[in-house]
Structure 1
Amino acid sequence: MKTNYLLSCNISPLVTYVPNAENPWNAANVRHLHNRLGFGIAPSQIENALSKSPSAYVDEIIDAAISLPPTTPPDWALLDPADYAANGYTYGEDENDEFVNETQYVFIKELMDNGIRGRLTLFWHNILVTRVSEYRFAGYAFRYFLALQRHSFGNFKTFIREIGLDEAMLKFLNGFDNVVGHPNENYARELYELFTLGEGNGYTEDDIVETSRALTGYNELTNGENSRIEFLEENFDAEPKTIFGQTGNWGYDDVINILFEQKSDLIAKYICERLYIDFVSPEVDESIRALIINPLASQFIASNFEIAPILKTLFKSAHFFDKNAKNVIIKSPLDFIIQFMTSTGFNFGSYDLNKQSIKNMSRIFDQDILNPPTVAGWEGDRDWLNSGTIMFRPAYLSEDVMQWAWDQDEEQFRQFAITISGNSNNPEVISTAIFEALMNEIPYTQDDFDIGVDVFKSRVPSNYFEQNIWTLDFETAALQVRDLMAYIVSLPDYQIK
């Protein structure tokens, strides 16, 4: 986890945001909320948000995400390979690869269809990491995705207790290989270092060794290769262990209980800081810890580690809506693609037609869903960009994604401009509306904007604008809107949110 220890400019407190003349509850703030908590918001949904107070609206959208039914798994996802043939499936490499692809498609569709729950599911995937390329069974991958989704707003202690016994995790971090006499320390180490406490924070090497002994025994395949994994008593180390100074014949549940009893403050601060970095700003200093993270951590402990309440506090806060919290995070590849699609509200055609392209391009841009590069996940922020991706990401939007919408109905580009500009015939008014819809508040320069206006006008003789002849009803208007969108997504500032 990288943090920037420069002094943060955001000094607004964690108190509830109250709109005022300098910082009103407007379309820009609605977009800011959805760009961070989800993957953007369609223009047609902004009016509903503005009809409610910010606090009530945050409650509403988080509660709605919590109330969503879980993704329905395909039949194969709940089967052991031994039962494949009886259910019409072939347990082979080709079919398993196909099912892994399907799991990735379902994960990405969750981000697109259920942006807020999808965002939290992706957030936890980047903390409680597994990599399907290493454990290589699609059934484990799909059930791991369901576990992330199921617990994304729930109780963090329960989440940690369950995820350690998830088959994907047991295989990925060698819990399956952890037996009495030959303890494997991988899961114990990452439980503390990456999942709950942070590197070198509140534990010793002896704690890791002793914890690994307490986690032995989950080695029993119940129904052959890649089946459910259960506890096998004979593989458990039943001798006393000393964890965080407490000695006893500790087992799996004891580890979780001792961890959350003894290290609650460290756990809460670590998770709240991870939330802050991902959702507010990568800049964390001691003033941010004192002002925001420590109070959030206190609330997290007081609520017995319920996740939803601290999310509501953070996303309702004056700190989150402060101008210095905006345009400071670089979009991930999936952010970059899905936020554009959501923010336009266009019909891009059937997801089944586009899903392979989205998955493959996000992988090429270094965000291979279900395959983070290391157990520490994606570094994020500046790590998303290099000299290649900063050019090819916008090219993908303008040449592929926009073409999907154009092929469906090119007139939707014209209608988009009519709707967001109030059917203006002023190129600057229309350009401003499109800039704001795609980039929210204005991080771009006046020169960038002026060039954008020229791009928008370039297909029409200049005298048409000078004489007020041109309108959005002109034959060229849809293509003009597309031209401007392609220009906007090419700007370096479009990479941030």
Structure 2
Amino acid sequence: MPSSVETELLDADDARHLLIRTGFAPAGADLAPYVGLTRAEAVDRVLATARTEAVTPLPAWCAEPLPTRGRHYDELRAWWMGEMLVTPSPVTERMTLFWHNHFTSGQDKVPEPQMMAQQNSLLRRHALGNFATMLHEVAKDPAMLLYLDGASNRKGKPNENFAREVMELFTLGEGQYTQQDVAEAARAYTGWAVDSDTGQFVSRPAQHDDGVKTVLGHSGPFDGDAMLDILLGEPQTAHFVAAKMWREFVSDTPDTAQLDHVAAHFRASRYDISTALRALLLMPAFWDERNRGVLVSSPVTFIVGTIRRFGVTYGDTAPFARTSAALGENLFYPPNVKGWPGGVAWINSSTLLARKQFVEQLFRATEAARPRMAAAMTKTAAKAPPRTQGGMRFDLDGWLARYGLSASDKPDLSQQLQMQHAVLPLAPVDAIAAGSSAQAYLQALLMDPVYQLT
């Protein structure tokens, strides 16, 4: 029998909470199909959109022979921002972004952008699939082998980097293994390499140490795949990954009992990610009012969410990728092996100012979107509309029309509250000048610190 949590019906605020946490800020029209569904039905609807491939084709150079070096990385970043902006399955891209920060690799040690494009496709293919399968494939991914020095790990001269990070960052977490476990595990991964001509994974038996290893209490002539299976056999792995998902989608502080429940579902399903995410999204903690507006939007979710929420049109997506990098999240270039720390680390005086400048650019884009204003411009000015990031165009009047307003109208209290609910998870903390026009009122909401929260 379904629990009472699962059978509660969603209102618009609930639907917005679900969609913004599992994807990016939704447009108003995206909410309607979810309002009135039970929580279980709504979660299942989100998961049913999951994809294994992007809807936009990768840049043509991704299929070119190596090398191209780093000259295409900016184009790859712009491509992924574009995919996130148009995907019909935001949960797929949100989970791909999550795994990008879990299985960390980056441009600083992976000179070939084709390799990072290949890894990105791998993460998307398994984003809501099977974690065990993804772990095995990531371990042999050329970008990962280069990033964590696995490609130089050979018999007699083992490199411990991958062996350590696969335990600490990918499966068990800190304090769950010893240095001796790392040293022995490193021997198991010897012989995995990257072909210098093709950039593909190769196994070199002559460089593999086939002797007996003892790791986490298990002994045998383990190879790399056997070693990964040992890690997957540890109950701590399901708990560690479930805890990271909790911090990404619910709150910074997991509830012990509810997290144990999610981890148990994850392990019992043999690491089915959709099963774990479904269990997480149907925990009471996910829907608890105290856990709404407590997570800080990452630069990518802030930018993509804003554009999707307001139906903003745009041309080039490269400026969005550059803005994300300036805000601290440079796709395919994490700060270190631990990835981006997230949370409050996203916000400081510099990045908060830059986020507000992005909102200002959005409202400058309303000028270029108004036919009446464009008609009133001189011919010279009409040929050169206000410069906005990414060629953005925001139909402000069209967005406000759902509340019976135009930009110059003064919203009444009911209209103000409707606008608040549409864009903020909590009430604004800054006072808004009385008598503000609808445009000024909306801009004040987006300038409020609460707009940075989900």
Q: Relative to structure 2, which stretch is displaced further, 62-71 or 101-110?
A: 62-71
The separation in 2 between residues aligned to 1:65 and 1:211, in whole angstroms, is 35
Structure 1 residue 67: Cα displacement: 6.5
Structure 2 counterparts to residues 14-53 of structure 1, below 5 A: 16-19=5-8, 25-53=10-38
Amino acid at match of 1:328: V
> Once the 2 structures are TM-superposed, how far is the Cα of residue 426 of structure 1 from its aligned partner?
4.6
Task: Find the counterpart in structure 1 of residue 43 from structure 2.
Answer: 58
Please give the per-residue CA displacement for 1:336-381, whole angstroms capped at 9, x wherever unaligned. Answer: 22212222223x223x2xx121111111111111111111011111
1:389 to 343, 351, 369: 351
- Percent identity between the aligned chains? 26
Distance 1:268 1:15, change over 3 A: farther
What one-letter code is carried by the residue in structure 1 that aligns with 2:98? F
Q: Which runs of 4+ in 1 moved over 4 A?
A: 67-71, 421-426
Q: Residues 15 and 100 from structure 1, CA distance in 2 versus in 1: closer, same or farther, beyond 3 angstroms?
A: farther
Is the 2:10–2:36 contact (alpha carbons within 8 Å) kept by the matching residues of 1?
no
Q: How far did residue 425 of structure 1 move?
A: 7.3
Q: Distance in 2 between matches of 1:36 and 1:372?
A: 22
Deviation at 1:320, TM superposition (A): 1.0
User: 2:246 matched to 1:289?
Assistant: no
Q: Which residue of 2 aligns with 1:415?
A: 398
Check conservation: 1:42, 1:344, Cα contact below 8 A.
yes
Residue 374 in structure 1 maps to residue 321 in structure 2: no
CA distance in 1: counterparts of 2:310 and 2:60, whole angstroms:
35
CA-to-aligned-CA distance 1:64-91 (integer Å, 9 cap, x gap): 123666654344323431xxxxxxxxx4
Partner of 1:3: none
What value does the CA root-mean-square deviation take over the aligned residues?
2.3
Q: Count the aligned residue pairs.
A: 427
CA distance in 1, matches of 2:397, 2:414: 14
Q: Does the Cα contact within 8 Å between 1:196 and 1:270 map onto a contact in 2? A: yes
Counterpart pick for 1:491 among 428, 448, 451: 448
For 1:80-137, what per-residue CA distance to the aligned partner results, in whole angstroms no more than 9, with x for missing partners?
31xxxxxxxxx45xxx434211221222223222321111000111111001222111
User: Which whole-Å CA distance do the structure 1 matches of 2:241 and 2:295 have between them?
Assistant: 18
String of CA shifts for 1:378-424, please: whole Å, max 9, x gaps.
111110111221222112222x2333354234783122222145899
| In 1, Cα distance between equivalents of 2:65 and 2:211 | 33
Q: For residues 220 and 495 of structure 1, what CA distance do their matches in structure 2 show?
A: 41
* Aligned pair partner of 2:248 in 272, 278, 301: 278
CA contact (8 A) 2:106 2:332 kept: yes
* Greater shift in the superposed pair: 411-420 or 206-215: 411-420
Asked if 2 retains the 8 angstrom alpha-carbon contact of 1:391 and 1:490, the reply is: no
Matched, 1:102 2:75: yes
- 1:70 & 1:349 partners in 2: Cα distance? 18
Letter in 1 for 2:302: F
Cα offset for 1:51? Answer: 4.5
Task: Describe the shift of the 1:220–1:357 C-alpha distance in structure 2 as closer, same or farther (beyond 3 A).
Answer: closer
Letter paired with 2:256: R
Mapped to 2, the partners of 1:272 and 1:326 lie a distance apart of 19
| Normalised TM-score (structure 1) | 0.81
CA contact (8 A) 1:130 1:172 kept: yes
Cα–Cα, structure 1 residues 165 and 132, in superposed 2: closer, same or farther, change >3 Å?
Answer: same
Task: Name the aligned partner's letter for residue 496 of structure 1.
Answer: L
Q: Which residue of 2 aligns with 1:469?
A: none
Q: Does 1:218 align with 2:201?
A: no
CA offsets, 1:302-323, max 9 Å, x none?
Answer: 1011000111122233321110
* Alignment partner of 1:338 is 2:304: yes
Given the alignment of the two structures, is residue 349 of structure 1 paired with residue 314 of structure 2, yes or no? yes
Tell me if structure 2 keeps the 8 A contact 1:180–1:237: yes
How far, CA to CA, are the matches of 1:368 and 1:453 in structure 2? 39
Where does the alignment leave 5 or more consecutive residues of structure 1 unmatched? 1-13, 82-90, 457-479
Whether 1:163 aligns to 2:138 is: yes
Please say if residues 15 and 318 of structure 1, whose CA atoms lie closer than 8 Å, have aligned partners that are also in contact: no
Distance 1:98 1:427, change over 3 A: farther
Residue 247 in 1 paired to residue 232 in 2?
A: no
In structure 1, what is the equivalent of residue 428 of structure 2?
444
**Cα 1:454–1:429, aligned 2, differ >3 Å: closer, same or farther?**
same
User: How has the CA–CA distance of structure 1 residues 236 and 409 changed in structure 2, closer, same or farther, with 3 Å as cutoff?
Assistant: farther
Give me the whole-angstrom Cα distance separating, in 2, the residues matched to 1:15 and 1:179: 55
Question: Are residues 312 and 453 of structure 1, via their aligned partners in 2, closer, same or farther at CA, if it must alter by over 3 Å?
Answer: farther
> Of the candidates 271, 274, 281, which is equivalent to residue 308 of structure 1?
274
Deviation at 1:282, TM superposition (A): 0.7
Structure 2, unpaired ranges of 5+: 373-394
Counterpart of 1:229, as a letter, is F
**C-alpha deviation, 1:427, in angstroms:** 2.8
Amino acid at match of 2:304: I
Does the 8 Å contact 2:53/2:121 carry over to 1?
A: no
User: For 2:355, what is the secondary structure of its paired residue?
Assistant: helix
Is contact 2:52-2:124 (8 Å) kept?
A: no
Instruction: Give SS of 2:214's match.
Output: strand
Could you say which residue in structure 2 is the equivalent of 1:260? 232
Distance 1:17 1:420 in 2: 32
Secondary structure class of the residue paired with 2:102: coil
Distance in 2 of aligned mates of 1:231 and 1:281: 41
The 5 Å alignment of 1:185-224 reads 185-201=160-176, 203-221=177-195, 224=197
SS in 1 for 2:349: coil
| Mapped contact 2:54–2:83 kept (Cα < 8 A) | no
- Of 288, 294, 297, which residue of structure 2 is paired with 1:328? 294
Secondary structure, aligned partner of 1:154 = coil
Separation in structure 2 between the aligned mates of residue 75 and residue 357 of structure 1, nearest angstrom: 20
Does the aligned pair in 2 maintain the 1:330–1:496 contact within 8 Å? yes
Q: Which amino acid in 2 is paired with 1:109? A: G
Structure 1: how far apart are the matches of 2:371 and 2:399?
10
1:464 is aligned to none
Task: Give the AA of the match of 1:156.
Answer: F
- State the distance in 2 between where 1:175 and 1:487 align: 50
Q: 1:108-123 counterparts in 2 under 5 A?
A: 108-114=81-87, 115-123=90-98
Preserved contact between residue 16 and residue 313 of structure 1 (Cα < 8 Å): no
